[in-house]
């Protein structure tokens, strides 16, 4: 049985070409030590009064320590620090335990077990800068870092990334670096899934943490689980397999809200964050189970939310055309999602997965409006990716889909072979979205104005496309040489 399961480990866990990791030499920043590393800030509770910090050590540190203090201008701010002890979660890297037996993870052989530690800082003051540090073994502390809690109201800035997945350390690092320069004061960052290529390969996660650098030590992350962040033991693509689970590294690495009304398999992959009175974010797990139950949960959350701005994110863009035959399970979910858009007040949908940039609108006859002209919409949706492995936007598919939907969906802007990230700035009744390329140049931007109509007791939304939305489209013909498959680690 063990040998059979070892073979399964190769087929189920290896999503990169056979031999892609041959000759791989473990870098010094991959292996856990007594010092805390892979430090990341998340928002499992009320962002105005709490945040969490997670970090990793080797097995010599069974109990973690974290300290926090209000960040003041004096040099000895740390004298006011409070200390909390944390309980560690042990993670086995070289094998996965299942009911059928133990599945060996070939690429993690030789890596020892590690501890992940999580500290949740609570009872904090809104819109306040705090300094924190975490400890590994005795006297082995991280530097003091600073994180600001959410304001009760007022402007909010968000960083948005699509798939990192491939070429993470070698190529995606520059995207993260540029994002930190463009939006250093963003309140939090959203990653729309496929953070890595192979969910259980510690090498991939080592590259991801190396690539993001200090960003998520000072800026909270809200990650979305993508299909590459899952282990698929059923060997079935898309949504058909139920024999799958999110990476065993997901929950130890990211402390996220737990929705008790949903199945345990969806805990910390389906959640919502009310960041301020005006901004409410909802996260679905399009790679997970019980999608209908997720949509029912979403409907309940949207109905009870009093926030002006409602942003939905999930990994798969179920409204994005890729051409060719559509998988039946994908079509079923797409139609369910279209019904949700028709019934709910969702302002912005953010996704990844396609390895292209695609931005479209949903509303009545949006296809007939020219770029740059103000017009009414119901929802704007964006697909993007930060990685160097690119897909192709099927424009003809979008046109066909728009015709089928009687002009209610329209593709406004797209790009291929161009890693992008975006900023979202929200202030009162305005949402400004800007997409940047890796050298910091604006590729797309639009403004949504959302006002309350007292006569209809509903919000009205009008979008105005910026001048960059009508600039030249970037495709394979006018960008650099593209390779269909390249691990990009050289």
> pLDDT digits over 134-165, tens only?
999 999 999 999 999 999 899 999 999 999 99
Computed over every residue of the chain, the mean pLDDT equals 88
Does residue 346 share a domain with residue 285? yes
**What is the mean predicted confidence (pLDDT) over 361-379?**
79
Does residue 94 share a domain with residue 167? no
Q: Quick one: pLDDT at residue 3?
A: 34
Final residue belonging to a domain, choices 130, 146, 162? 146
Q: Quick one: pLDDT at residue 386?
A: 93
Does residue 177 share a domain with residue 127? no
Q: How confident is the model at residue 4 (pLDDT cuts 50, 70, 90)?
A: very low
Q: How confident is the model at residue 1 (pLDDT cuts 50, 70, 90)?
A: very low
Does residue 167 share a domain with residue 292? yes
Q: Quick check: 341 and 414 in contact, CB under 8 A? A: no
CA angle 404, 447, 341 (to 5 degrees): 35
Final residue belonging to a domain, choices 86, 113, 146? 146
**What is the mean predicted confidence (pLDDT) over 42-61?**
97
Q: Quick check: 34 and 137 in contact, CB under 8 A? A: yes
**DSSP H or E run through 55:** strand 51-57
**What is the mean predicted confidence (pLDDT) over 186-196?**
96
DSSP for residue 466: -
CA-to-CA distance for 391 and 97, rounded, in angstroms? 34
Task: Report whether pLDDT(379) > 80.
Answer: yes
In CATH, what number is assigned to the domain containing residue 43? Answer: 2.60.40.380
Q: For the chain, how many structural domains are there in total?
A: 2
Q: How confident is the model at residue 8 (pLDDT cuts 50, 70, 90)?
A: very low
- DSSP string of 259-305, one letter each residue: -TTS-GGGTTTSEEEE-SSSEEEEE--TTSS-HHHHHHHHHHHHHH-
- Beta-carbon-side half-sphere exposure of residue 346 (alpha carbons within 13 Å): 29
In CATH, what number is assigned to the domain containing residue 408? Answer: 3.60.21.10
Does residue 120 share a domain with residue 169? no
CA-to-CA distance for 46 and 275, rounded, in angstroms? 7
Does residue 183 share a domain with residue 110? no
Does residue 322 share a domain with residue 187? yes
Does residue 177 share a domain with residue 254? yes
Task: Report whether pLDDT(421) > 50.
Answer: yes
Does residue 173 share a domain with residue 138? no
Q: Quick check: 44 and 120 in contact, CB under 8 A? A: yes
Residue 483 in any domain: the answer is: no
Task: Report whether pLDDT(369) > 70.
Answer: no
Range of the domain at 212: 153-478
- Classify residue 414 by burial, with Cβ atoms within 10 Å: 0-12, 13-18, 19+: buried
Percent of the chain with pLDDT over 70: 89
Does residue 159 share a domain with residue 134? no
Instruction: Calculate the CA 188 to chain-centre distance.
Output: 11
């Amino acid at each position: 049985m063990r040998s059979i399961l070892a073979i399964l480990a190769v087929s189920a866990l290896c999503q990169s070409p056979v031999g892609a990791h041959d000759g791989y030499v473990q870098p010094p920043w991959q292996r856990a030590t007594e010092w805390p590393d892979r430090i990341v800030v998340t928002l499992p509770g009320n962002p105005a009064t709490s945040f969490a910090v997670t970090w990793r050590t080797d097995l010599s540190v069974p109990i973690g320590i974290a300290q926090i203090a209000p960040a003041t201008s004096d040099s000895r701010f740390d004298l006011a620090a409070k200390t909390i002890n944390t309980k560690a979660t042990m993670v086995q890297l070289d094998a996965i335990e299942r009911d059928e037996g133990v599945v060996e993870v070939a690429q993690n052989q030789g890596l020892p077990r590690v501890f992940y530690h999580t500290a949740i800082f609570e009872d904090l003051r809104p819109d306040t800068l705090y300094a924190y540090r975490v400890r590994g073994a005795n006297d082995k502390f991280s530097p003091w870092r600073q994180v600001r809690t959410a304001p009760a109201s007022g402007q909010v800035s968000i960083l948005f990334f699509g798939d990192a997945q491939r070429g993470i350390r070698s190529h995606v690092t520059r995207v993260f670096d540029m994002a930190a320069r463009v939006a250093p004061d963003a309140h939090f960052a959203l990653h729309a899934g496929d953070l890595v290529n192979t969910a259980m390969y510690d090498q991939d996660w080592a590259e991801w943490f190396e690539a993001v650098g200090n960003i998520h030590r000072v800026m909270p992350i809200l990650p979305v689980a993508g299909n590459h962040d899952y282990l698929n033991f059923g060997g079935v693509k898309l949504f058909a397999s139920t024999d799958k689970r999110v990476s065993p590294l997901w929950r130890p690495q990211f402390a996220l809200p737990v929705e008790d009304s949903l199945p345990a398999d969806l805990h910390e992959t389906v959640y919502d964050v009310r960041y301020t009175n005006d901004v409410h974010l909802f996260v679905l797990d399009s790679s997970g189970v019980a999608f209908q139950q997720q949509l029912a949960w979403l409907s309940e959350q949207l109905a009870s939310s009093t926030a002006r701005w409602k942003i939905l994110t999930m990994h798969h863009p179920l409204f994005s055309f890729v051409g060719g035959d559509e998988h039946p399970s994908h079509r079923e979910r797409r139609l369910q999602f279209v019904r949700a858009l028709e019934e709910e007040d969702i302002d912005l949908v953010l996704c990844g997965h396609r390895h292209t940039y695609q931005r479209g609108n949903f509303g009545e006859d949006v296809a007939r409006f020219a770029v740059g002209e103000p017009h009414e919409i119901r929802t704007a949706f964006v697909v993007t990716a930060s990685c160097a492995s690119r897909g192709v936007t099927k424009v003809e598919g979008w046109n066909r889909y728009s015709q089928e939907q009687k002009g209610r969906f329209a593709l406004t802007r797209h790009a291929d072979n161009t890693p992008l990230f975006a900023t979202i700035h929200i202030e009162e009744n305005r949402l400004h979205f800007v997409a940047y390329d890796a050298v910091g140049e604006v590729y797309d931007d639009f403004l949504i104005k959302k006002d309350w109509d007292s006569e209809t007791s509903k919000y009205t939304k009008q979008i105005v496309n910026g001048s960059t939305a009508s600039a030249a489209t970037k495709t394979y013909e006018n960008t650099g040489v593209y390779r269909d498959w390249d691990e990009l680690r050289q």
